Amino acid sequence: MLNDFQGDMLWSEIEEVVGQKNVSTLAADRLVYSTDWSWIPQMWLDRGIQPPAADFVVHPGSAQEISAILKIANSYRIPVVPWGGGSGTQGGAIPTYGGILLDLKRLNDIIEINEDSLYVTAQAGVNGSQLEWALNEKNLTLPHYPASANCATLGGYLAPRGSGTISTKYGKAEDLVMSMEVVLPDSTIIRTPPVPSHAAGPDFMRLFLGSEGTLGVITEVTMQIERLPEVRLLRAMLFKDITTGLEAGRRMMVQRLNPLVIRMYDPSSTGSLVKEVLGYELQGAYMIIGFDGWEEIALAQEKRALAICKELGAQDLGREAGERWWNHRYDFYYPPWGLHLPYLYGTVETISVFDKIEQLYHAKKEALEKTFEDWDLSYIGHFSHWFPWGASLYDRFIVKDPPQDPHEALKLHNRIWAVAVRTSLKNGGMLNEHHGIGLKLSRFMRAQYGPAWQLLETIKHAIDPHGIMNPGKVGFGRGPGD
Ligand SMILES: Cc1cc2nc3c(=O)[nH]c(=O)nc-3n(C[C@H](O)[C@H](O)[C@H](O)COP(=O)(O)OP(=O)(O)OC[C@H]3O[C@@H](n4cnc5c(N)ncnc54)[C@H](O)[C@@H]3O)c2cc1C
């Protein structure tokens, strides 16, 4: 905790680095940067409680300025929290212990678009949609399509290891990274090797993927890009249940049909969300399949996928239904369809191998609906990111009438998450697939990793001995010195 004198001295030091207009202690700025997209701080604000706020909101303009800020933070032993777009759902960007909030949006230059080797180099604070529009002008694309592209940054794609709509073919954001510039907690600016595949020792670049600002600040990134495809073929299928749908998806993946997307809604979401957003009244498991690239190849892949679906008794709803989903694919997450207050809700997404994923779904549904029966909890899910070995389960709980008292509401929220997470871990699932850990899942990291957790703690202490970087997140420490 700083006294007024220390606060003024610190202000002067920060101002010297970034200039007066790029540092703020205004209550309004501190309030705005006290909540990301996660339920906890939004609920606090909704109930009239000020969430923890940063002491200083700082807008650096370069890696060198960030390095200088980290030097200052180390000498004062105060926390530093990187902030991309603030669209994270796990509370990763919330300044839980005050300190300096580093808003990275001024780092928004697109430095190079290379059309021969197909890569783009950009600063980490560039907005996802603005980067995409610049690529589209050259008939190119960054094939990471998260529903949050309008409000997220390139660094924010990577720091929590995000997945986009077409990850099944092109990989997660982390699979597209070629190299990065990172400012380490001790203020050293480093660059990872220029290519992602080599045999020059351990791949330390991957340390920063999933570190969510706890191991440094990503300032510049080179990502692989693609030419826009000749065709994109979308189609909707209806399975009688998730068992047959999961088997169809598994066959498409293990037979390497290279689908762009497979998204299967469970019967509950088919009967609710799909009906509300797309207007279809259906019973069963609604599945979207998609293929892209050269027309003759995409058509051949689609033909084989359709044969698999038919073998498993699916009804082909046709291309128009697939296109409709594609055109409305982000609507599911925004008003009026996205989950919102006053509900108590959470996306408890996870991932597992094919032989466990269905059991995992049923176990979570049963555990959550039974344990929180008195709260009339409802559980819905879809299977969205597929691999040759398994798939992710994007599942959610919703309590429409939670306690009004904010402390009671928070305790219920945390109890529901604990049941969801422990059921996932017990049934072969992970803490999550793409939203990251943040504040919300921090307390479960030891349960996830067991004795291996010590390895990550050792690395954290070695590179951030004063614990200044984003304390309380990703399972690491509660504040400087912890
Ligand atoms: C409507 C909606 C839809 C969404 N859909 C998707 C989706 O389809 N796929 C998906 O993966 N996620 C999705 N998300 C979650 C979220 O948007 C993503 O995780 C997004 O990539 C976060 O980016 P951001 O720039 O907003 O990061 P922030 O929320 O600002 O930060 C997230 C975490 O990363 C850290 N961080 C941010 N930038 C840096 C940096 N440069 N260096 C080091 N650490 C950094 C922060 O400290 C924080 O811990 C969605 C969110 C919303 C609100």
Contacts of 307 (CB under 8 A, 6+ apart): none
Ligand 1 within 6 A of CB of 147: yes
State which ligand 1 atom lies nearest to the alpha carbon of 470. Answer: 47
Q: Tell me the two tokens of residue 210.
A: 């999933």
| pLDDT (0 to 100) of residue 450 | 95
Helix and strand tally (H, E) in the chain? 16, 19
Ligand 1 centroid, distance to 152 Cα (angstroms): 6
State which ligand 1 atom lies nearest to the alpha carbon of 159. Answer: 34
Ligand 1 centroid, distance to 37 Cα (angstroms): 9
CA 177 vs. chain centroid, Å, equals: 15
Question: What number of other Cβ atoms are within 10 A of residue 336's Cβ?
Answer: 8
Ligand 1 centroid, distance to 154 Cα (angstroms): 9
Class of domain 4-105 as given by CATH? alpha beta
Query: Options 1.10.3720.10, 3.40.720.10, 3.30.70.3450, 3.40.50.720; which CATH number does 231-333 get?
Result: 3.30.70.3450
Nearest-CA neighbor of 432 among 417, 450, 451, 452? 417
Ligand 1 within 6 A of CB of 156: yes
Ligand 1 within 6 A of CB of 381: no
Ligand 1 centroid, distance to 149 Cα (angstroms): 9
Ligand 1 within 6 A of CB of 162: yes
| pLDDT (0 to 100) of residue 169 | 98
Q: pLDDT tens track of the chain, all 482 residues?
A: 678 888 899 999 999 999 999 999 999 999 999 999 999 999 999 999 989 999 999 999 999 999 999 999 999 999 999 999 999 999 999 999 999 999 999 999 999 999 999 999 999 999 999 999 999 999 999 999 999 999 999 999 999 999 999 999 999 999 999 999 999 999 999 999 999 999 999 999 999 999 999 999 999 999 999 999 999 999 999 999 999 999 999 999 999 999 999 999 999 999 999 999 999 999 999 999 999 999 999 999 999 999 999 999 999 999 999 999 999 999 999 999 999 999 999 999 999 999 999 999 999 999 999 999 999 999 999 999 999 999 999 999 999 999 999 999 999 999 999 999 999 999 999 999 999 999 999 999 999 999 999 999 999 999 999 999 999 999 998 655 55
Task: Parse the chain into domains and list their residue ranges.
Answer: 4-105, 110-227, 231-333, 344-440
Q: Report d(CA 90, CA 36) in Å as an integer.
A: 8
Ligand 1 centroid, distance to 441 Cα (angstroms): 15
Q: Do domains 4-105 and 231-333 have the same CATH topology?
A: no
State which ligand 1 atom lies nearest to the alpha carbon of 92. Answer: 49
Q: Residue of the nearest CA to atom 45 in ligand 1?
A: 213
| pLDDT (0 to 100) of residue 383 | 98
Ligand 1 centroid, distance to 475 Cα (angstroms): 18
| pLDDT (0 to 100) of residue 6 | 85
Residue with token string 């610049």: 134
Amino acid at 133: W
- From residue 215, alpha-carbon distances to 38, 209, 255, 394, 469 in Å are 22, 10, 39, 27, 7
Ligand 1 within 6 A of CB of 123: no
Query: Options 3.40.50.2300, 3.30.300.330, 3.40.50.720, 3.10.180.10; which CATH number does 344-440 get?
Result: 3.30.300.330
Rounded to 10°, the helix 354-371/406-426 angle is 150
Substitution candidate for ligand 1 out of 80, 148, 463 with most atoms within 8 A of CB = 148
The answer to whether 55 and 25 have CB atoms below 8 angstroms apart is yes
Fold of 110-227: 3.30.465
